[in-house]
């Protein structure tokens, strides 16, 4: 892009809340890596019209967990074993998007969640990204914006 004197803004999800949630998820996974007594699982809930399972946002969250939790080797929506990050995918009603990461042990649970109330947050993030990149040259992501 910079060779053409322009700018490109790339994001898997333009919601500011989701991108802040990405940061929290990555940090929590880093902390939890040394605590083998906790198992981690995910749940994502979307509207009945959504065709992909799991969602791209769920895959991004899962990959962050896999990057930090050494005992998890891959993710799956069907297998639920000790070295697999299980992602429960739910399609119901008109839910715009909910993502939950849950660490469970014999003594307690730790859970983080992002729940979109509507689609406005995605549109607002796209507008903010467009304003951010105005006049800039190169390739930018939500990490640059946040």
How does pLDDT run across 104-130, given as a tens digit for each residue?
999 999 999 999 999 899 999 999 999
Q: For residue range 8-32, what is the model confidence (pLDDT) as tens digits? A: 999 989 999 999 999 999 999 999 9
**pTM of the full predicted structure?**
0.89
Residue 136 exposed, middle or buried by CB count within 10 Å (0-12, 13-18, 19+) = middle
3-state secondary structure of 45: strand
Q: For residue range 34-55, what is the model confidence (pLDDT) as tens digits? A: 999 999 999 999 999 998 999 9
Residues carrying an active site annotation: 46, 50
Which pLDDT value is given to residue 3? 58
Instruction: Classify residue 4 by its DSSP letter.
Output: G
Q: Which structural domains are found in the chain, ordered by start?
A: 15-116 (3.30.360.10)
């Amino acid at each position: 892009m910079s060779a053409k004197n322009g700018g490109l803004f790339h994001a898997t999800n333009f919601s500011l809340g989701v991108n802040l949630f990405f940061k929290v998820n990555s940090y929590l996974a880093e902390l939890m890596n040394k605590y083998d007594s906790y198992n981690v699982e995910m749940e994502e809930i979307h509207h009945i019209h959504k065709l992909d399972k799991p969602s791209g946002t769920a895959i991004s969250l899962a990959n962050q967990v896999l990057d930090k939790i050494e005992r998890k080797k891959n993710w799956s929506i069907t297998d639920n074993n000790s070295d697999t990050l299980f992602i429960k995918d739910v399609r119901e009603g008109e839910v715009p998007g909910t993502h939950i990461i849950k660490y469970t042990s014999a003594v307690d649970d730790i859970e983080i969640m992002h729940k979109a109330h509507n689609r406005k947050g995605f549109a607002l993030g796209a507008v903010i990204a467009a304003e951010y990149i105005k006049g800039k040259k190169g390739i930018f992501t939500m990490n640059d914006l946040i």
